[in-house]
Structure 1
Amino acid sequence: MHASSSEAVSPRQASLGPVYAALLVQVLINTGTYLAGKRAMEELPPVTVVLWRFLLCAFVFCLLLLFTPGPKLPPRSAWRHVLMLGLLAGPINQMLFFYGLSQSTAAHAALLYALTPLGVYLVSLARGHELPSLRATLGILTALAGVVVLLLGRGLASARGSLVGDLLILAAVSAWVVYTTEGKPFAAAHGPVRSTAWSMIAAAVLLLPVTPFALAPGRTFSASLPALGSIAYLAVLTSVVAYLIWYWALSKVPASRVAVFSNLQPATTALAAWVLLGESLHWGLALGGGLVIAGVRLTQSAPLGPVTPRALEESGGEAPVLEASLVQGASRGSGQARR
């Protein structure tokens, strides 16, 4: 793990300009995710948007698997894990996210998803994979203070609907934290492209029972072109292209450098929502957002603690690799949600 990171920044390699350019594209794609979700739900229910997104995403990943060398189906021993990841990524995370987004704002959603690295860090502490540090603790407290400011910045009375939406999004973030921590060892074993394809296809399969009630093909195909384009954006650009760019970049440079780009997302989303959706830039958003981003960066910069006996026991003697994957998952999580 460490060897690959050092190789990624070796001066003997070609310029990293294309990598950083691709990461900027990824940030812009994820910025549009929240805006596309809001636009699609102006004409369609959240469950319909989620269902079409995963059906189209699964179709694209099926085509991708056909042209990817190696096994097309997960091994029999991994099916339960794949279904669990699909449940977390699809029905749980995305239903909570889209219903929350329908009652909140795109800027709030982007900021709350910036808490994902903190959640992954806390899970790794609970499992004994890391030891607590003062820097990480200060980061967590700073980010939590930012969430409080973000939720209450406009007052409980005027933000009641937004508060409910924000709480649903926080629940979605919790599901994404579990997906990240549980999915990292699986991705390390089977590769990020194949493991992501399997989990996204599983998510679509798990959503099939609601198809007769939520697919609404007549209503969907009678929607406007911007609404249909938003669904296509969510399915192809957010769920496939942005994810592949992210992991390609991580194969070229250390996760800490990639994570810096993810911290641009809340600011770019807030600005885009202000320009395109007319969302206000109130003081609570500015102060709370600044605290959240500062807390995330402070936690991400905390040094790894020594390997504990518990970590060695749980990881079968490979705790350093598992620790590194969890920390990288924390850095990646704030830029992948989608989702």
Structure 2
Amino acid sequence: MGASTSEAVSSRQASLGGVYAALLLQVMISAGTYLAGKRAMEELPPVTVVLWRFLLSATIFCLLLAFTPGPKLPPRSEWRRVLMLGLLAGPINQMLFFYGLSHSTAAHAALLYALTPLGVYLLSLARGHERASSRSTLGILTALAGVVVLLLGRGLASARGSLLGDLLILAAVSAWVVYTTEGKPFAAAYGPVRSTSWSMVAAALLLVPVTPFALAPTRTLSASSPALASIAYLAVLTSVVAYLIWYYALTKVSASRVAIFSNLQPAMTALAAWLVLGESLHWELAVGGGLVLAGVRLTQSAPPLAGPVPVEES
């Protein structure tokens, strides 16, 4: 009996290796989102950047749906949930995030987004999606402490961002917490491709009313190549690849275990700045990064917090 249990645990860990590798890729993509967003907004208003991002990504998702076996549209009973997830992902989360980022700093945004795992964990507990675990709680708080240490070393204390900008980013984080928590059962029921595609197309449709006022095609097409490349990065890598990975992971493990990986983003950004921009490395990276890794490890090694959500056959 003991051997079979050990083998089952080892088999589960091995099967989750691909999930964690995918989440690391998602972290690397997301780490560049702050930089791409800041660069695009040097030449274009936040609403224009967000609009182009979702219109382009929605086009890609429509193509994915066209070549994905199964239903192309969500069941009528799910339209309200699809619109809710689209509203959280697009008009609320991204509009608030980009407007907040335009008034704040990338360091402040990274710190506030580090609250995501704690928010997802608490909301999952409140909704009955997960059970309380002292190891998960300790892991989340340890990772959050690591992010604080890391960002203090990168000048968080001296980085000035307006209170309005930080409040807008905090509201965006809250929307992302709800999107992650409520998106898990939806992704488990319909699969990562369909669930992500439906919610992101819904996000683009909800942004259509502002298109005549914010699309600014002439101004956008006359922007510099780095600005256009930043929009392409946001549309293809962040909104398609990273979102698909996020929902894929949500079908495999609990929402809090997925969310904890977002705390690796500041460390990944610091390493990228060292490799690409030649910034120096400080002791805070080793200490903060170590705490984040320890927190992620603690959270992932906690006992399962929720049973699997049954997948609907389509």
Compute the TM-score of the two structures, normalised by the length of structure 1.
Answer: 0.72
Residue correspondence of structure 1 range 141-180 to structure 2 within 5 A: 141-142=141-142, 158-161=158-161, 164-180=164-180
Q: How does 1:122-271 map to 2 (within 5 A)?
A: 122-142=122-142, 158-161=158-161, 164-245=164-245, 264-271=264-271
Residue 140 of structure 2 contacts residue 260 of structure 2 at CA under 8 Å; is this kept in 1?
Answer: no
User: In 2, Cα distance between the equivalents of 1:193 and 1:4?
Assistant: 28
Native 8 Å contact 1:106 1:273 kept in 2: no
Task: Give the whole-Å Cα distance in 1 for the aligned partners of 2:145 and 2:187.
Answer: 33
Contact 1:92 1:175 in 2 (8 A): yes
Q: 2 CA distance for matches of 1:283 and 1:47?
A: 38
CA distance in 1, matches of 2:287, 2:163: 17
Q: Check 1:303–1:242 CA distance in 2 against 1; reply closer, same or farther (3 A cut).
A: same
Q: Tell me which amino acid in the other structure corresponds to 1:188.
A: A
Whole-angstrom CA distance in 2 between matches of 1:249 and 1:186: 13
TM-score by length of 2: 0.77
Query: Equivalent residue of 2:72, what SS?
Result: coil
**Per-residue deviation, residues 45-85 of structure 1 (Å, max 9, x unmatched):** 11111010000010111111111111111111111110000
- What amino acid maps onto 2:14 in structure 1? V
Tell me the amino acid that sits aligned with residue 51 of structure 1.
Answer: L
Letter in 2 for 1:231: I
Q: Secondary structure at the match of 2:308?
A: helix
Shift in alpha-carbon separation, 1:36–1:206, aligned structure 2, 3 A: same
- Give 1:256 deviation, angstroms: 10
**Structure 1 runs not aligned, ≥5 long:** 11-15, 306-318, 326-339
Task: Return the letter of the residue paired with 1:44.
Answer: L
State the secondary structure of the residue aligned to 1:9: helix
In the other structure, the counterpart of 1:9 is 14
Identify the match of residue 321 of structure 1 among 278, 283, 308: 308
Shift of residue 32 of structure 1? 2.0
What residue in structure 2 maps to residue 60 of structure 1?
60
Q: Residues 125 and 132 of structure 1 are in contact (CA less than 8 Å); yes or no, is this contact kept in structure 2? A: yes
- Contact 1:61 1:201 (8 Å CA) reproduced: yes
Partner of 2:120: 120
Pair 1:50–1:273, CA change in 2 (3 A): farther
- CA 1:182–1:22: 2 relative to 1, 3 Å: closer
**Cα shift at 1:204:** 0.5
Residue in 2 that maps onto 1:316 = none
Residue pairs, 1:12-31, within 5 angstroms:
25-31=25-31
Looking at structure 2, the residues matched to 206 and 200 of structure 1 have their Cα atoms a distance apart, in angstroms, of 10
Once the two structures are superposed, the pairs formed by residues 79-94 of structure 1 within 5 Å of their partners are 79-94=79-94
Q: Which amino acid aligns with 2:307?
A: P
Q: What's the counterpart of residue 39 of structure 2?
A: 39
Distance 1:19 1:132 in 2: 23
- Deviation digits for residues 300-337 of structure 1 (CA, Å, limit 9, x no counterpart): 543346xxxxxxxxxxxxx7225x99xxxxxxxxxxxx
Give 3-state SS (helix, strand or coil) of 1:321's partner: coil
Unaligned runs of 5+ in 2: 1-7
Which residue identity lines up with residue 216 of structure 2 in the other structure? A
Q: Percent identity?
A: 83
Q: Which residue in the other structure is 1:314 paired with?
A: none
CA distance in 1, matches of 2:222, 2:150: 37
**Given that residues 105 and 279 in structure 1 are in contact (C-alpha distance below 8 angstroms), is that contact kept between their aligned partners in structure 2?**
no
- Deviation, 1:139, is 4.1
Residue 65 of structure 1 contacts residue 197 of structure 1 at CA under 8 Å; is this kept in 2?
Answer: yes
Aligned to 1:331: none
Cα distance in 1 between the residues matched to 2:19 and 2:132: 33
Tell me if the contact between 2:146 and 2:287 (Cα under 8 Å) persists in the aligned partners.
yes
Count of residue pairs the alignment pairs up: 302
Give the direction of change, closer, same or farther, for the CA distance of 1:31–1:143 in structure 2 (3 Å limit).
Answer: closer
- In structure 2, relative to structure 1, the CA distance for the partners of 1:150 and 1:252 (3 Å cut) is closer
Listed one character per residue, the Cα deviations across residues 224-273 of structure 1 (whole Å, up to 9, x for unaligned) are 01101110111011111233355667889999998887554321213334
Q: Distance in 2 between the 1:265 and 1:51 partners?
A: 25
Letter in 1 for 2:199: S
